[in-house]
């Protein structure tokens, strides 16, 4: 085996004795036959004598007879499908130095939304295919043989042969086009050094609009023919973001042009291909009349995220997928910076706590993983595009920035970008630059957060004039892990002017109250409140003793706390309650303190906690469920009544978001008045789609209201929604309908909605809308449906991370040990690496709920507390 092609099998990474310098690629897609042919000439640097060239190829037919290295023909060509490698053997050693490897190949334009694939659209009433690439993480190898590893950066020179009437786009601008009958040949400029996963091709019929940055970089948005007005908002955000990043990273946008394009079939939300960013339609297109405020935010954040990658990811690239978070965590964090500067009225940094929240929730599972994770096979990469890499990643960056200070942090980032431009970096490389620029122990501090899974909860207790702190790993199952962190503690006492910051390095530490700078105990120690983790910049939770907790409740009621701190308190309290570290009773009492809150950002967390409580109480306390729901309705209703259903002239973006949020929550809590009003407005809307009674922002609430009233014997609402779906041209409207269809309490209707997913009326990319909407009443029927259809689901969605959604959405709502065992048994012989983690996490959530239920049932004073609170809020 020592000198055979098989010696290269089973390795995570390609051998480094030969590396590509430049790819000259000629590719000819056939959009009707759904296949393509290509020819590659790759300049390769051989750095050590070898008889083999080893590169990646998958689902490609490489023509063995065409392969040459210089003028040498190989004696042995082996393609190992499972390893996705192509081993080219020669009868003698290749000399050290540069040579050109040439080969011809063919492949399929698949329907799996990865590699080189086809997407369907309709133009002038005619159904057509477009050809699109999606290479991240490891699918460039499905389009051409290559060293498909982010560290093998090379230059790319593409030539495409396409039907003359189509638009053909790639990373770089066109240098030349020649037409020969029905086929045109398009030549593109050679790219700078870049990784394979960022190469892109799109071929189809499109229109575009154009603008340019202050530096003169041309920026275009391509849309389907006749739809360019929907690209205007994204174009504007793009141009402004590019200007902003150029200043922030102190480096100009590296390419001569930037194109952005909406693709009708798209597995992710968007993809940052260098100079040719691809998007799901809902993440790029915005229509003044047809999109909601939340659609608008989504577009802005997505554009800002993908453009941040042009520096963080594309110019400086992670050395290996272990460091994926450097790409995704940073792009997520920076996107908030850009959007905050473009739309200050959105209060974007407070909304950032949505990211922190999902990071904290996922990372409280034993089945979580460290930010830096070992990758041994390409098939493991997709699964780490998760809340840990994105949300925890972005949150620990915010934590570090807040510790180092914004200015120092930015300066260090700019020098990191300069140092590693056109090259690759590891997590340690970033820490080294930050450490050098700041003089702070960045590496020691941050390693505890990136190499170790989980995070701490800080127990805070007042002992005389000492605030005693103790850290322990927080886990939602109530156990304590063994992790230890260096925790940037921030705290304030009685006012935001009286602060104390330090690094908690040991298990315990304490602060003397007098240490709070500018501390005055004017209103007597009785009314003192102490808040740790000011503005939730730290990635940890806090458990206060009863006295401190009571102080904070008073501070909330007295409106002394920032929006972020109010969010932090309710989120921590909820998590501690799930982990059985505090009672549901005390959580309900705390929620009561948010009774007259009117801010969207705070209420979005409050409603999410309310909905979780309402769900768990269905199984935990069926007798009390109605009263608990009423209590939660009473809590949310004042703000909802103030806003009503109708938009008001000049109201803020966040109030528009809040209206939608509250109406949806009230419908989900079963509030009859809201449901009836939603149904009333829906009927008017059915007659007149232009009615001002149901603008896009409140439409989802009305759709959900209608579905609450639908049953097999009264299905007209369901059919009406299907009709809206079929007639809607806008993907955002379609997604609103899909997200409602499965939310009926009627099991047969839920089943019908699930089966609708399998028809060709629903794109495979959109399955998660239906899955995400399944009613609690429908969870059993959904599980049976999943078991029955598992083979089909696996076959259709296997190659994307969408497969995990089926498991997450269908398994997680269960709340019993028996169910966990049943699910686990079903998958025992069906497990695959691509959804193993999703399954383990879902099962863990089920078991956590089961334990939470047991503990809720043994809370002696819950019933009485609910009655008391009900009387207080009625
Ligand atoms: N690089 C990702 C796209 C991606 C995701 C490729 C998963 C391969 C697998 C892109 O930059 C991204 O993060 N997109 C996000 C949108 C963003 C606003 C968080 C997405 O697709 O959801
Ligand atoms: Zn990204």
561-572 per-position pLDDT tens digit = 999 999 999 999
Binding-site residues sit at: 305, 309, 328
Pocket of ligand 1 (CB under 6 A): 136-137, 268-272, 301-302, 305-306, 309, 328, 331-332, 385
**Rounded Cα distance, 556 and 566, in Å:** 7
How many whole angstroms from 332 Cα to the centroid of ligand 1? 10
Lowest average pLDDT, out of 416-430, 526-540, 583-597, 779-793, goes to 526-540
* 144-180: pLDDT as tens digits: 999 999 999 999 999 999 999 999 999 999 999 999 9
97-108 and 60-62 as β-strands: parallel, antiparallel, unpaired?
A: antiparallel
Residue 653 lies in a domain: no
How many other CB atoms sit within 10 Å of the CB of residue 694?
Answer: 24
Exposure b/e, 802-831, CB count within 10 A at least 16 = b: bbbbbbbbbbbbbbeeebbeebbeebeeee
Same domain for 469 and 369: no
Tell whether 431 and 544 lie within a shared domain: no
Q: How confident is the model at residue 558, as a pLDDT?
A: 94
Q: Binding site membership for Zn(2+): which residues?
A: 305, 309, 328
Checking if the pLDDT of 524 tops 60, the result is: no
Structural domain contains residue 400: yes
Tell me which DSSP letter residue 478 carries.
S
Backbone angles phi, psi at 363, to 5 degrees: -80, 0
pLDDT reported for residue 226: 93
Q: For the domain that residue 42 is a member of, what is the CATH number?
A: 2.60.40.1730
Q: What is the DSSP letter of 110?
A: B
Ligand 1 atom nearest residue 306's Cα: 11
Residue 447, strand partner residues:
none
Give, using CA atoms, the residue closest to atom 2 of ligand 1: 271
Which residue owns the Cα nearest ligand 1 atom 16?
269
CA of 102 to the centre of ligand 1 (A): 33
Evaluate if residue 654 carries a pLDDT over 70.
Answer: yes
For ligand 1, the distance from its centroid to the CA atom of residue 162, given in whole angstroms, is: 28
- Domain with 494, as residue range(s), is 455-582
Q: Characterize 228-266 residue by residue with b for buried, 16 or more Cβ atoms within 10 angstroms of its Cβ, and e for exposed.
A: bebbbbbbbbbbbbbbbbbebbebebbbebbbbbbbbbb
| Atom of ligand 1 lying closest to residue 309 CA | 11
How far does residue 710's CA lie from ligand 1's centre (Å)?
36
CA separation for the pair 513, 526 (Å, rounded) = 13
Is 64 a domain residue? yes
CB-proximal residues (5 Å) to ion ligand 2: 328, 331
pLDDT digits (tens, 9 = 90+) for 444-468: 999 999 999 999 999 999 998 899 9
The answer on 460 and 477 residing in a single domain is yes
Q: How far apart are CA 59 and CA 80, in angstroms?
A: 11
- Give the position, in ligand 1's atom list, of the atom nearest the Cα of 302: 18
Please, what's the b/e burial string for 740-763 (b: 16 or more CB within 10 A of its CB; e: otherwise)? bbbbbbbbebbbbbbebbeeeebb
Ligand 1 atom 6 nearest Cα = 136
Ligand in closest contact with the CA of 139:
1
Higher pLDDT, 197 or 519: 197
Angle, CA of 495, 501 and 502, to the nearest 5°: 160
Q: Which of 269, 379, 381, 389 to mutate to test the pocket of ligand 1 (most atoms within 8 A of CB)?
A: 269
Counting ligand 1 atoms within 8 A of each CB, the residue from 270, 295, 351 with the most, and so the one to mutate, is 270
Q: Are residues 422 and 480 in the same domain?
A: no
From 175, 203, 231, the end of a domain falls on: 203
Same domain flag for 462 and 436:
no
Q: Is the pLDDT score of 200 beyond 80?
A: yes
Cα–Cα dist 393/414, whole Å:
19
The residue whose CA is least distant from atom 13 of ligand 1 is 328
Distance CA 758, CA 418 (A): 49
Do 496 and 410 fall within a single domain? no
Q: 90 by DSSP, 3-state: which?
A: strand
Q: Give 513's pLDDT tier (boundaries 50, 70, 90).
A: confident
Same domain, 371 and 505: no
| Model confidence band, residue 874 (pLDDT cutoffs 50, 70, 90) | low
pLDDT at residue 515, rounded to an integer: 80
Taking CA atoms, 9 is separated from 77, 143, 800, in Å, by: 14, 21, 24
Choose which residue among 139, 197, 271 to substitute to test ligand 1 binding: the one with the highest number of ligand atoms within 8 A of its C-beta. 271
Alpha helices in 322-377, H assignment, sequence order: 324-342, 348-351, 353-363
**Whole-prediction pTM:** 0.97
Residue 70 counted as domain residue: yes
Inside any domain, residue 250: no
The residues near 482 (Cβ < 8 Å, ≥ 6 apart) are: 473
If one counts every other C-beta atom within 10 angstroms of the C-beta of residue 192, the result is 18
Answer yes or no: do 50 and 189 share one domain: yes
- Domain presence at residue 228: no
271 CA distance to ligand 2 middle (Å): 7
| One domain for residues 417 and 469 | no
Residues above pLDDT 90, as percent of the chain: 94
Q: Confirm whether 44 is domain-assigned.
A: yes
| DSSP assignments along 745-757, one per residue | S-HHHHHHHHHHT
Domain boundary among 422, 450, 478: 450
412 confidence band (pLDDT: 50, 70, 90): very high
List the CATH number of the domain containing 490.
2.60.40.1910
Catalytically active residues are: 306
Structurally, the chain folds into a number of domains equal to: 3
Atom of ligand 1 nearest to the CA of 385: 7
Report the SS3 class of residue 133. Answer: strand
Averaged pLDDT for residues 216-230:
97
Residue of the CA atom closest to atom 15 of ligand 1: 269
Ligand nearest to the CA of 330: 2
Q: Is the pLDDT of residue 281 over 80?
A: yes
Question: Which residues sit opposite 695 in a β-bridge?
Answer: none
Could you tell me if residue 356 is inside a domain? yes
Residue range 510-539: mean pLDDT, rounded = 80
User: In this structure, which ligand is nearest to the CA of 802?
Assistant: 1
Residue nearest to atom 20 of ligand 1 (CA): 269
Q: Buried b vs exposed e over 608-644: b needs ≥16 C-beta within 10 Å?
A: bbbeebbbbbebbbeebbebbbbbbbbbbbebbeebe
Clarify whether residues 464 and 425 are in a common domain: no
SS (HEC) of 688-717: CCCCCCCCHHHHHHHHHHHHHHCECCECHH
- State the Cα–Cα distance between residues 542 and 546, nearest whole angstrom: 12
Domain holding 439: CATH number? 1.10.390.10
Looking at the fold, whether 462 and 441 belong to one and the same domain comes out as: no
**Total Cβ atoms within 10 A of residue 403:** 20
Is the distance from CB of 540 to CB of 399 less than 8 angstroms?
A: no
What is the distance in A from the centroid of ligand 2 to the CA of 266?
A: 14
What residues pair up with 594 in beta bridges, in sequence order?
none
Ligand 1 atom closest to residue 272's alpha carbon, by position in its atom list? 11
What digits encode the pLDDT tens for the residues 688-724? Answer: 998 899 999 999 999 999 999 999 999 999 999 999 9
Residue 406 shares a structural domain with residue 490 = no
Element at 159 (helix H, strand E): strand 155-163
CA-closest residue to ligand 1 atom 18:
302
**How far away, in angstroms, is 268 Cα from ligand 2 center?**
10
81-127 pLDDT, tens digit each: 999 999 999 999 999 999 999 999 999 999 999 999 999 999 989 99
How confident is the model at residue 770, as a pLDDT? 98
> Across-strand partners of 160?
27, 186
β-partners of residue 218 are 212, 257
Contact 6, 369 (CB under 8 A): no
Domain boundary among 582, 598, 615: 582
What tens digit of pLDDT does each residue of 352-389 get? 999 999 999 999 999 999 999 999 888 889 889 999 99
Q: Closest ligand 1 atom, CA of 137? A: 8
From 197, 266, 268, 339, the mutation candidate for ligand 1 (largest count of ligand atoms within 8 A of CB) is 268
């Amino acid at each position: 085996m020592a000198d055979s092609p098989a010696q290269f099998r089973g390795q995570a990474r390609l051998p480094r004795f030969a590396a590509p310098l430049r790819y000259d690629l000629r590719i000819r897609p056939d959009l009707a036959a759904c296949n393509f042919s290509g020819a590659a000439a790759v300049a390769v640097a051989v750095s050590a004598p070898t008889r083999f060239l080893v590169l990646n190829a998958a689902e490609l037919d490489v023509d063995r007879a065409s392969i040459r290295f210089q003028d040498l023909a190989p004696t042995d060509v082996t393609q190992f499908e499972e390893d996705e490698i192509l081993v080219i053997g020669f009868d003698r050693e290749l000399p050290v130095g540069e040579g050109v490897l040439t080969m011809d190949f063919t492949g399929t334009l698949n329907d799996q939304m990865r590699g080189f694939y086809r997407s369907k659209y309709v133009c002038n009433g005619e159904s057509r295919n477009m050809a699109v690439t999606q290479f991240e993480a490891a699918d460039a190898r499905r389009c051409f043989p290559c060293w498909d590893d982010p560290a093998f950066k090379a230059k790319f020179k593409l030539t495409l042969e396409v039907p003359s009437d189509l638009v053909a786009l790639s990373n770089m601008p066109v240098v030349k086009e020649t037409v020969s009958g029905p086929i045109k040949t398009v030549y593109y400029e050679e790219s700078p050094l870049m990784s394979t996963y960022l190469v892109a091709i799109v071929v189809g019929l499109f229109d575009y609009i154009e603008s340019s940055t202050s530096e003169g970089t041309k920026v275009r948005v391509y849309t389907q023919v006749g739809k360019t007005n929907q690209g205007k908002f994204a174009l504007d955000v793009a141009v402004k973001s590019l200007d902003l990043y150029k200043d922030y990273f102190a480096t100009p946008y590296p390419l001569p042009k930037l194109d952005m394009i909406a693709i009708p079939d798209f597995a992710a939300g968007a993809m940052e291909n260098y100079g040719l960013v691809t998007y799901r339609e809902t993440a790029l297109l915005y229509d003044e009349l047809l999109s909601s405020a939340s659609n608008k935010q989504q577009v802005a954040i997505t554009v800002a995220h993908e453009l941040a990658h042009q520096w963080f990811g594309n110019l400086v690239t992670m050395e290996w997928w272990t460091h994926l978070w450097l790409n995704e965590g940073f792009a997520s964090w920076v996107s908030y910076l850009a959007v905050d500067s473009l739309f200050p009225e959105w209060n974007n940094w407070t909304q950032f706590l949505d990211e922190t929240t999902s990071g904290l929730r996922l990372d409280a599972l034993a089945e979580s993983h460290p930010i830096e994770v070992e990758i041994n096979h390409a098939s493991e990469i997709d699964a780490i595009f998760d809340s840990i890499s994105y949300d925890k990643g972005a949150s620990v960056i915010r934590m570090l920035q807040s510790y180092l200070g914004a200015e120092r942090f930015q300066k260090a980032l700019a020098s990191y970008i300069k140092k590693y431009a056109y090259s690759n970096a590891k997590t340690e490389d970033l820490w080294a630059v930050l450490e050098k620029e700041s003089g702070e122990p960045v590496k020691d501090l941050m390693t505890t957060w990136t190499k170790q899974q989980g995070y701490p909860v800080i127990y805070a207790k007042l002992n005389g004039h000492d605030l005693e702190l103790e850290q322990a790993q927080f886990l939602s199952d109530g156990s304590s892990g063994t992790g230890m962190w260096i925790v940037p503690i921030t705290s304030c006492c009685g006012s935001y002017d009286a602060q104390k910051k330090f690094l908690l390095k040991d298990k315990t530490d304490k602060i003397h109250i007098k240490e709070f700078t500018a501390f005055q105990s004017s209103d007597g120690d009785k009314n003192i409140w102490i808040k740790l983790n000011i503005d939730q910049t730290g990635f940890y939770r806090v458990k206060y003793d009863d006295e401190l907790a009571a102080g904070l409740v008073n501070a909330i009621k007295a409106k002394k706390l920032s929006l972020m701190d109010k969010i932090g308190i309710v989120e921590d309290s909820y998590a501690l309650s799930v982990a059985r570290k505090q009672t549901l009773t005390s959580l309900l009492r705390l929620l009561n303190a948010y009774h007259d809150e009117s801010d969207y950002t705070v209420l979005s967390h409050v409603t999410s906690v309310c909905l979780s409580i309402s769900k768990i109480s269905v199984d935990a306390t069926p007798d009390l469920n109605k009263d608990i729901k009423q209590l939660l309705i009473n809590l949310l209703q004042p703000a909802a009544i103030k806003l009503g259903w109708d938009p008001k002239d000049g109201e803020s973006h966040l109030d528009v978001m809040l209206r939608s949020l509250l109406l949806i929550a009230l419908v989900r809590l079963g509030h009859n008045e809201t449901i009836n009003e939603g149904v009333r407005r829906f009927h008017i809307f059915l007659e007149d789609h232009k009615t001002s009674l149901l603008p896009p922002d409140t439409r989802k609430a009305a759709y959900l209201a209608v579905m609450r009233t639908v049953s097999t014997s009264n299905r007209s609402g369901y059919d009406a929604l299907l009709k809206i779906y079929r007639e809607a041209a806008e993907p955002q409207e379609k997604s609103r309908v899909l997200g409602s269809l499965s939310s009926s309490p009627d099991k047969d209707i839920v089943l019908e909605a699930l089966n609708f997913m399998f028809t060709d009326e629903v794109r495979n990319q959109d399955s998660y809308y239906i899955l995400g909407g399944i009613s609690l009443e429908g969870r059993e029927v959904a599980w049976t449906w999943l078991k029955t259809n598992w083979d089909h689901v696996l076959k259709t969605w296997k190659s994307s991370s969408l497969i995990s959604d089926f498991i997450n959405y269908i398994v997680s709502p269960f709340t019993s040990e028996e169910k966990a065992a049943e699910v686990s048994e079903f998958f025992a012989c069906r497990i695959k690496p691509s959804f193993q983690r999703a399954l383990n996490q879902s099962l863990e959530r089920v078991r956590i709920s089961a334990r939470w239920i047991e503990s809720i049932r043994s809370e002696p004073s819950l019933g009485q507390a609910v009655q008391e609170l009900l009387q207080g809020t009625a």
